[in-house]
Structure 1
Amino acid sequence: MTYRKIVPILLAGGALMTVAPALAQTQKPAEPDAREIIVTAQNRKENVQNVPIAISVVTGAALAAQGVTDFTSVQKVSPALNITSDTNNTRVTVRGVGSLTNNEAQDQSIAVNIDGEYLNRPTILNAAIFDIDRVEVLRGPQGTLYGRNSTGGAVNFITRKPGDHTAVNGSVSYGNFNSVLVDGGADLVLSEGAAVRVAGFYRSHDGYNYHPNTPFSPTSAFTPSTANRSDTDNTGGGRISLRLKPLNGLTVDGSVEHVEQNIIPAAQMWTDMTAAGYNPGTSTTSCGNGWTVAAARTGGVSCVPANINVLAGRDRSTYNSPLIGVGSLHQISTAVRGRLAYDMGFATLTYTGGYRTTKNTGGNTLSPAFYFTNFGGTVKTNSHELRLNGLTHGVQWQGGVFYFYEQLNSNGGLYSPFIGSTGSYVNYFRHPTNTKSVSAFGQAEVPLTDTLTAVVGGRYTQDDRDAAFTNYAFAFGSGPIELTNQPATTSPLKYSGNKFTWLAGLNYKPNSATLIYGKVSTGYKAGGFDGAGTAFRPETNTAYEGGAKFKLGRHILNFAGFYYDYKDLQNDVLLNPAIGAQTFNAGKAQIYGLEVESTLRLTDNDTITASANLMHAKYTDFVASVASYDIGASSATPLTANLKGNRLPQTPNVVITLGYDHIFRLGAAGTLTFSAFSRYKGDYYLDFYNYASARQDARTQTDLSLEYKPQNKRFSVQAFVRNLEGYRSLAYAGNTVVPGVANIYNFQFTPPRTYGVRLGVDF
């Protein structure tokens, strides 16, 4: 990091160190507040204001009030997250760091955990979120305590545990699109030191997208769906949780969870880029219709759609589906999780483990007329952590070991009913992959003075991955069946790598209401191999961060500034449809920004929340393959370009949120609470090419609600509207080129305006 780049961070840190003593001397002592939030981001219980991490916490009550029932919708209440979907794949970005891959074996850049169980696959991230106590969003690399694939941060879901008395809670919601959500739970005390909680949910809604075209139905074994809506949902599940305290100092938590999902995934809006009015013309020296010349080629030019906006004027809720209709997907996921914690006095020994199996079947239609079959994609994972936490002579320390194992299998391919009398497969894959990761970690907080503490930590991780990739050749006239005896090639693949990640920082706490911190931390995303069998290296992130957290009476004011040195980015490019996406380590990125968060409790009845995230995120060196429209060109060499200066995808330069809650106290009649929350996101791109069609303009999204509770608070009635503006932002945009077959631009969008009523009970 150059002197020019580090000076602003040092100046900001110096300013905070200067102002802190003044604040400590002038502010009133912190008042006790029952609304203080306790988190476990550092593997121990502590007030969120005492954690030297930029962290956003959302309580289960807030999630329920905002209608958060899946991972994608968490971004509505956490401005740090940007979450998008490509049909059934969920992609997460924090501070510009994320993954845009469809490679089934490539890892994510954000570590996602449910009660310590690690989730990694983009399809599994669609899992339903229900009966949640809180969500913790940790910004910045978390390589020491969270390990691999936490390059940009971590998201922790903590489920609700059995209580110490019998209780029942639940809610029923109904809204437009025939939206139904039923959820609830019950705590039952079995005996002293033993309790169980049973919780479940069901949700459904009609499709957000209407498709007026009539799906084509060929006279073959292939029978596409004739539904004229997509992005439907029909999901339900349950969880049984047990808490035991059989011995003094010993706590045992266990749970079994099962979720089943039936959906019609969102059919993508698409544009045929070879159609009249969209294609770049026939000139072998220039490009028209907003296309630009990417390179002169033998006999002609290669054009890219850099400046053409094919979305202009399109209705984002009503559009034609692919010619063969819409798909349907069925996912079943079962998880078993456990945690044992034994307080030995001088230290606490904790074991956390989880096992999950997930199976996907069905298929998804792709433009213009493809069907991606799935004859049973499966993911089986288990993870185990053994950790020892203690406090010795004022030193807060912890250390442990972690083991993760995953079995992944895919079985399906890209089928076209228009090739041959019974249809043909363009490609078909079986990619069984086994991944093992073992690590050891430790962290210590050493007091240097009464107010200054040094933090050091490290983690060593060994990653191993092996596979036997079977790629079937073009299968003419196969029909939409599971392939077993077609010509194929099988390649045994192996990857092995290790990485040491570390953390060093200083925490300054002049009083109980003030924390100022500075640190350097590292994170990485594991290496591996792509669909072509080509190995790629880990990507790494070194982060320099400083921040301050202030408790000013009943108010909270937090700051964070950061600079990332982000290297060896893993990026997917489709060069050959017969083998799928290929992954390359291509480039470096410069990311820095400033974050401000505040909670102002003006009166007992009025609360204002506000945040501002300002960020610069651009590639400083990024050579990437480019899909082009070739006019007269005869070169078969893939086109490459340096995208230096382009913005990272899913990364708005500014995100501003503002919320206001007011409680009308009605005496013996109870309370009426009005809530408003609005989020402004600056413009951003959905691809790293920064094409005009992949650019989402700056927009606001506003949610409103009005909730009544009687004096005993045993039930509540809420009316709500979400996305008041009704605007559907881009959730996916991509230009797909299959040489000789298709040149298509695809799009997907966030949900429209929804509204309804919710009845809740709590006994």
Structure 2
Amino acid sequence: MTNVLERLPSSRRAAKNAAAWMCGIAMGAVLVPQAYAQAAAAGQPAAENDQAIGDIIVTAQKRSESVQKTPLAITAIGGEALRTSGTSTISAVVQSVPSLQLGQFYGVANVTLRGVTLSAINAGTESPVAFHVDGVYYGRPAAVLSSFFDVQRVEVLRGAQGTLYGRNASGGSINIITADPTPDLSGFAQVTYGNYNHMNVEAAVSGPLSDKVQVRVAGRWDHRDGYGINEATGRDIDDNNERAIRGKIKILPTDTLTILLEGDYSKAHSNAAIHLQGAVAGGPIFGTQSSIFGTPFVPGKASSKLRNVSQDEDPTLRTKFWGFGSTISLELGSITLRSITSYRKSQSLSVGDIDLTSAPLVSPFGISDDANQFSQELQVVGQDDHSNWILGGYYFHEKDEGREVSAFSTVFAGANPATNARGLYSGSRVTTDAYAIFGQYTRKFTDQLSVTVGGRYSIETKGLINQNNFDLGTPFDRSKLFDKPATFAIQCGKGLPTLGYAGTGVTCRPKKTFKAFTPKVGIDYQVTPQTLLYASYTRGFKSGTFNLGVVQDAVRPEKLDDFELGIKSTLMDGRLRANVAGFYYNYKDVQAYNGLPTQTYLENAATAKIYGIETELVARPVTQFQIDLSGSWLHATYDNYKAYDQLRPGGDGVTLVPNLGSTGFLNGFDLKGNRLPQAPRISGRLGAAYTFASDLGDFTLRGEAAYKSKMYITQFNTDPVGAVKAHTRFNASLNYEHKDGHLTASINAKNLGNKVLLTNGFAGTPFVGGLISGYLEAPRTIDFTVGYKF
């Protein structure tokens, strides 16, 4: 079988070389690092030396402090660096952050940090890597895929953040901090044009309305033609159309009281396509369908061009996000009272062809999600000469309604002979109410030695209403794709819904309460004013959830114990920064998929051990030249995990796994020692920039190379169809800034080698198993941008 994954670049020698320089960096940095900050975004210089690397002020611990003084594994990137590099999505940040991967599945972001990843895409499912914007937790993983703009900085906190961030931060947290209103008139505007007819406009204006009121308004519009076409219909795929706006009002009634009001709206539409990578002959794609429906698979055409597809259903992804909130701060001497209030609305709809060919088998397949969330956080933050502390309370409420539909073609027995049948409908409503109290205290025993203790107690209750319908007799009506059917069934207890079932009432409303205590203990030692040593233990937890479609016990929360050891150093009068972090995870009750011949379901199936080392190095030997290097070595394997593989129903001939809803067993696999998905052993980036000064202004030429070793896309670690080969990606840019600091221009070229790379992938489906598929990274893109700052 030919598989395009085999055509991705791979080299055992490259992997060995990458491992060698990773070890070299770690050894060379043993007197240095772990959290690299690009040039200062907030105008906070690291040192008086004009050759010094700029510092950045972060709020990772809910107070302002230098990134080099923060005893956490954190990567911070300033807003100016994001703009000049053409970075406007989390996917573009991935290369700058060790151990971070990003993919998607039907509009749901799949963020992986140090091997900790999202397991399911059902309604109510939450990522173990939290996503915050201006201090507000976003419950829906789809929001991670939206573009960001007018950003002050991005902070990526690696490792469990269970004390200060709570639920669903067991793998870390991605924090987006947008720009606030300013007391003086300021702003920027920039226009971009690139290949694939890419057009982008972004602008912001900020200033005072009065001595007590400041306002900031920012907006973004983006359009791009597709990277490929659907050969079956002739339409573009992998295009993009989006627009967004944000407004902020800062009110200063007194010198000690600040009221910040914020509202935002964004809308996007694209034809994001899932690309067929291959199929396993003799798997469920041929067997399961025949055994259930008595009809063999009717093969269709799949495109031979890597960036094209041939599918009878055009892919569609639509998202809409909006919200408003307030942050109120009152300073009472050394104590600050803070309230963060937010309401958010999240809507996404994705439609595609689940059999991924031009055959009218199972299409359209659609997933929709409609969520409302409200959150309230109260903080009391204090400090004195010897300590700093924070106490807080948190409440989160969300109602998330999701629907999945699959229309079935006339090839299935029992389907309407004249048209496609309505097929499978699954509708769910998951309601979450979460409460928490937390606190963290840091005591400075000497000028060098500090100890931190903290803890968070969380209680959350989730309720589910699940409605299912399987109908092969009613004709499919596209205009009513996501409409609830007239009859449906809800089952209690364990088992699979019966084909052809129907009911007329709500008979089952499962509800489950989860509780967790997530402590933190840390110690840090300031060896010199430029070198910080730290060690910590933190627990994180990922919320429990329900299976949808399969009636099964609630899935328990994941628990992750994180042991960290790191060092951060700034040397050579601020011209060299080197950071190293080592970590060890004890990962329990991992929410992982198990399978049946016709369906998958989520359970606490696994335990895992994860450990590794990360390095980040920035050097400026002369004022004009800067080099930066980051890398990660990651060991992430299952300790205990047995599962059924839909692609290999015969199993390993030894392992048996329970057959859900029966007293029998299935032939499965013992996955102990298998690597976790989306967890390459080696990843790294090397970049260099040189600035040429002239009478017209400064020109900065930058190049970078990013390497990732082989990673697997599923827990079964099947080669070659279940793996993404090792690869190196190259980017380059040329930036210009006029000597007066107002006019800017840049050319950004990404993926210079035009590699065809999977962001992530997946294997098997309930009815159309055997397919290996995934989303592709962008091809070579070249963008030209002109901007003006004032």
TM, length-normalised to structure 1 = 0.86
- 1: CA distance, partners of 2:472 / 2:484: 9
Question: Which residue pairs with 1:262 in the alignment?
Answer: 269
Report the Cα offset of residue 510 of structure 1.
3.0
Question: Which residue pairs with 1:25 in the alignment?
Answer: none
**Relative to structure 1, is the Cα distance of residues 159 and 399 closer, same or farther in structure 2, using a 3 angstrom cutoff?**
same
Question: Which residue pairs with 1:232 in the alignment?
Answer: 239
What are the residue-to-residue correspondences of 1:192-207 with 2, within 5 Å? 192-207=211-226
Question: Which residue pairs with 2:547 in the alignment?
Answer: 530
Q: Secondary structure at the match of 2:76?
A: strand
Alignment check: 8 A CA contact 2:681 2:710 kept: yes
After TM superposition, the structure 1 stretch with the greater mean CA deviation from structure 2, 53-62 or 478-487, is 478-487
**Identical columns (%):** 28
Report the Cα offset of residue 162 of structure 1.
1.1
| Alignment of 1:321 onto 2:310 | yes
Instruction: Tell me which of 572, 583, 606 is aligned to 2:593.
Output: 572
**Relative to structure 1, is the Cα distance of residues 738 and 16 closer, same or farther in structure 2, using a 3 angstrom cutoff?**
closer
- 1: CA distance, partners of 2:208 / 2:610: 50
**Relative to structure 1, is the Cα distance of residues 651 and 412 closer, same or farther in structure 2, using a 3 angstrom cutoff?**
closer
Question: Which residue pairs with 1:286 in the alignment?
Answer: none
- 2: CA distance, partners of 1:762 / 1:30: 25
Report the Cα offset of residue 392 of structure 1.
4.2
Q: Secondary structure at the match of 1:73?
A: helix
Question: Which residue pairs with 1:383 in the alignment?
Answer: 375
| Alignment of 1:717 onto 2:717 | no
- 1: CA distance, partners of 2:196 / 2:73: 37
Instruction: Tell me which of 399, 402, 406 is aligned to 1:410.
Output: 402
Report the Cα offset of residue 272 of structure 1.
4.6
Question: Which residue pairs with 1:745 in the alignment?
Answer: 772
Report the Cα offset of residue 574 of structure 1.
4.8
Q: Deviations over 1:469-503 (max 9, x none)?
A: 11113343331332431343343111101000011
| Alignment of 1:370 onto 2:367 | no
Instruction: Tell me which of 547, 563, 573 is aligned to 2:584.
Output: 563
Q: Secondary structure at the match of 2:787?
A: strand
Question: Which residue pairs with 1:602 in the alignment?
Answer: 621
Instruction: Tell me which of 127, 135, 140 is aligned to 1:121.
Output: 140
Q: Which has the higher contact order (CA 8 A, sep 6+)?
A: 2
What are the residue-to-residue correspondences of 1:581-592 with 2, within 5 Å? 581-592=600-611
Q: Secondary structure at the match of 1:326?
A: coil
**Relative to structure 1, is the Cα distance of residues 366 and 448 closer, same or farther in structure 2, using a 3 angstrom cutoff?**
same
What are the residue-to-residue correspondences of 1:643-722 with 2, within 5 Å? 643-666=671-694, 668-692=695-719, 693-722=721-750
Question: Which residue pairs with 1:521 in the alignment?
Answer: 538
Instruction: Tell me which of 420, 423, 438 is aligned to 1:423.
Output: 420
**Relative to structure 1, is the Cα distance of residues 272 and 424 closer, same or farther in structure 2, using a 3 angstrom cutoff?**
farther
Alignment check: 8 A CA contact 1:541 1:564 kept: yes
Q: Secondary structure at the match of 2:534?
A: strand
Report the Cα offset of residue 30 of structure 1.
6.1
- 2: CA distance, partners of 1:87 / 1:281: 24
Q: Deviations over 1:428-468 (max 9, x none)?
A: 11201110110000000012223111110000000100121
| Alignment of 1:71 onto 2:90 | yes
Aligned CA RMSD, in angstroms, stands at 2.7
Report the Cα offset of residue 365 of structure 1.
2.4
Alignment check: 8 A CA contact 2:225 2:239 kept: yes
Q: Deviations over 1:4-43 (max 9, x none)?
A: xxxxxxxx9xx999969xxxxxxxx965658210000000
Q: Secondary structure at the match of 1:42?
A: coil
Report the Cα offset of residue 614 of structure 1.
1.0
Question: Which residue pairs with 1:49 in the alignment?
Answer: 68
**Relative to structure 1, is the Cα distance of residues 511 and 688 closer, same or farther in structure 2, using a 3 angstrom cutoff?**
same
Q: Deviations over 1:533-552 (max 9, x none)?
A: 42111111111111011111
- 1: CA distance, partners of 2:362 / 2:145: 23
**Relative to structure 1, is the Cα distance of residues 123 and 475 closer, same or farther in structure 2, using a 3 angstrom cutoff?**
farther
- 1: CA distance, partners of 2:698 / 2:29: 43
Q: Secondary structure at the match of 1:488?
A: coil
- 1: CA distance, partners of 2:467 / 2:220: 39
After TM superposition, the structure 1 stretch with the greater mean CA deviation from structure 2, 131-140 or 581-590, is 581-590
- 1: CA distance, partners of 2:405 / 2:313: 17
**Relative to structure 1, is the Cα distance of residues 128 and 660 closer, same or farther in structure 2, using a 3 angstrom cutoff?**
same
How many residues align structurally?
A: 693
Instruction: Tell me which of 427, 437, 440 is aligned to 1:440.
Output: 437
Question: Which residue pairs with 1:165 in the alignment?
Answer: 184
- 2: CA distance, partners of 1:76 / 1:631: 39
Report the Cα offset of residue 361 of structure 1.
4.0
Alignment check: 8 A CA contact 1:458 1:503 kept: yes
Alignment check: 8 A CA contact 1:72 1:90 kept: no
Q: Deviations over 1:548-596 (max 9, x none)?
A: 111112221111111111111001345375xx64211011111111111
Question: Which residue pairs with 2:56 in the alignment?
Answer: 37
| Alignment of 1:458 onto 2:455 | yes
Q: Which amino acid aligns with 2:536?
A: K
What are the residue-to-residue correspondences of 1:95-494 with 2, within 5 Å? 95-212=114-231, 214=232, 226-274=233-281, 315-318=305-308, 320-322=309-311, 324-361=312-349, 363-368=351-356, 369-372=361-364, 377-392=369-384, 394-418=386-410, 419-420=415-416, 421-480=418-477, 481=480, 482-489=483-490, 490=506, 491-494=508-511
Alignment check: 8 A CA contact 1:611 1:657 kept: yes
| Alignment of 1:85 onto 2:92 | no
Q: Which amino acid aligns with 1:378?
A: D
Q: Secondary structure at the match of 2:785?
A: strand
Structure with the larger strand share = 1
Alignment check: 8 A CA contact 2:269 2:319 kept: yes
**Unaligned ranges ≥5, structure 1:** 1-11, 21-28, 215-225, 283-310
Alignment check: 8 A CA contact 1:17 1:516 kept: no
- 1: CA distance, partners of 2:115 / 2:409: 40
Alignment check: 8 A CA contact 2:189 2:788 kept: yes
Alignment check: 8 A CA contact 1:706 1:720 kept: yes
After TM superposition, the structure 1 stretch with the greater mean CA deviation from structure 2, 747-756 or 43-52, is 747-756
Q: Secondary structure at the match of 2:340?
A: strand
- 2: CA distance, partners of 1:280 / 1:438: 45
Report the Cα offset of residue 647 of structure 1.
0.6
Question: Which residue pairs with 2:758 in the alignment?
Answer: 730
Q: Secondary structure at the match of 2:390?
A: strand
Q: Secondary structure at the match of 2:353?
A: strand
Q: Secondary structure at the match of 1:428?
A: strand
Alignment check: 8 A CA contact 1:269 1:748 kept: no
Report the Cα offset of residue 604 of structure 1.
1.3
Q: Secondary structure at the match of 2:207?
A: strand
- 2: CA distance, partners of 1:370 / 1:539: 34
- 2: CA distance, partners of 1:175 / 1:382: 39
Q: Which amino acid aligns with 1:327?
A: P
- 2: CA distance, partners of 1:696 / 1:263: 25
Alignment check: 8 A CA contact 1:524 1:539 kept: yes
Instruction: Tell me which of 505, 510, 515 is aligned to 1:498.
Output: 515
**Relative to structure 1, is the Cα distance of residues 499 and 280 closer, same or farther in structure 2, using a 3 angstrom cutoff?**
closer
Q: Which amino acid aligns with 2:757?
A: S
Q: Which amino acid aligns with 1:255?
A: E
Q: Secondary structure at the match of 1:738?
A: coil
Q: Secondary structure at the match of 2:518?
A: strand
Q: Deviations over 1:725-748 (max 9, x none)?
A: 110211232221435x55422232
